[in-house]
A and B are shown apart, each in its own frame.
Chain A
Amino acid sequence: SQQGEEDPQALSIQEGENATMNCSYKTSINNLQWYRQNSGRGLVHLILIRSNEREKHSGRLRVTLDTSKKSSSLLITASRAADTASYFCATDAGRGSTLGRLYFGRGTQLTVWP
């Protein structure tokens, strides 16, 4: 299975603190994406990082990718209570894989306390 692990499974922090989530995967990829899911809702795309990129920023989000270790991290800086959600990484299956076909990690439940 391509699905990897994410850690921590749950993270609880205070507003203003930074939150770091990690994701590992098993096979080669073309890109890795991070999604956010509020409880019982659909997924919102946060950021995509390609296999030839090592770091990417979007607002308060910073994503890193280490293809040699098959791992990625998502950093949310200056967290807000509204950031409370589950965060998932998702990968494709590498060369020749169907575009849009994704394999998800288990997710990290982030709780940000006011």
Chain B
Amino acid sequence: GAVVSQHPSRVICKSGTSVKIECRSLDFQATTMFWYRQFPKQSLMLMATSNEGSKATYEQGVEKDKFLINHASLTLSTLTVTSAHPEDSSFYICSASIGGATEAFFGQGTRLTVV
């Protein structure tokens, strides 16, 4: 199946700093990528839809200035958590879909801890 690589897998940062998470589709082109957030023992919450070459579409309640999404190429989307706070600590997962297919392929996730 298609492979989605997410980097880093774990990151610890200080409050007030920014952290960038990368999501790459390794063997296919993804016109659309998705970012999810997951709190411990809870479900995945869709944060935003990332479209190559255009602005991301954010779900209601997700701060677009806090979570900057860039989809500069057909194989790479990035999520930047700006001015991170401890409450931003979470598991962030990206997914990508191949055009015309309903199945989404997920990255391995990034565990962000803000101290």
Query: Which residues of A are in contact with B by a Cβ distance under 8 Å?
Result: 3, 30-31, 33, 35, 40-45, 48, 88, 90, 92, 98-107, 109
Asked whether B1 lies within 8 Å of A98 as measured between CB atoms, the reply is: no
Interface of chain B, helix or strand or loop or mixed? strand
- Chain A contacts of B111 at CB under 8 A? 40
Known contacts A30-B102, A100-B97; 6 additional CB pairs below 8 A are: A33-B104, A42-B109, A45-B1, A48-B102, A100-B101, A100-B102
Q: How far is the CA of A86 from the CA of B41 in the complex (A)?
A: 9
A-B contact pairs, 8 of them (CB 8 A): A3-B43, A42-B109, A88-B43, A98-B32, A98-B49, A100-B101, A102-B95, A104-B36
For A42, the closest partner residue in chain B by CB is B108
Asked whether A42 lies within 8 Å of B102 as measured between CB atoms, the reply is: no
The answer to whether the Cβ of B28 comes within 8 Å of any Cβ in the partner chain is no
Say yes or no: A41-B108 contact (C-beta < 8 A), given A30-B102, A101-B34.
yes
Say yes or no: A42-B46 contact (C-beta < 8 A), given A100-B34, A100-B95.
no
Asked whether B104 lies within 8 Å of A100 as measured between CB atoms, the reply is: yes
Asked whether B96 lies within 8 Å of A103 as measured between CB atoms, the reply is: no
A25, chain B: closest CB distance, angstroms: 12
Residue among A31, A33, A40, A48 with the highest chain B CB neighbour number at 10 A: A40
Asked whether A33 lies within 8 Å of B103 as measured between CB atoms, the reply is: yes
Asked whether B97 lies within 8 Å of A42 as measured between CB atoms, the reply is: no
Asked whether A31 lies within 8 Å of B102 as measured between CB atoms, the reply is: yes
User: Which residues of B from 1 to 47 have beta carbons under 8 Å from A?
Assistant: 1, 6, 32, 34, 36, 41-46
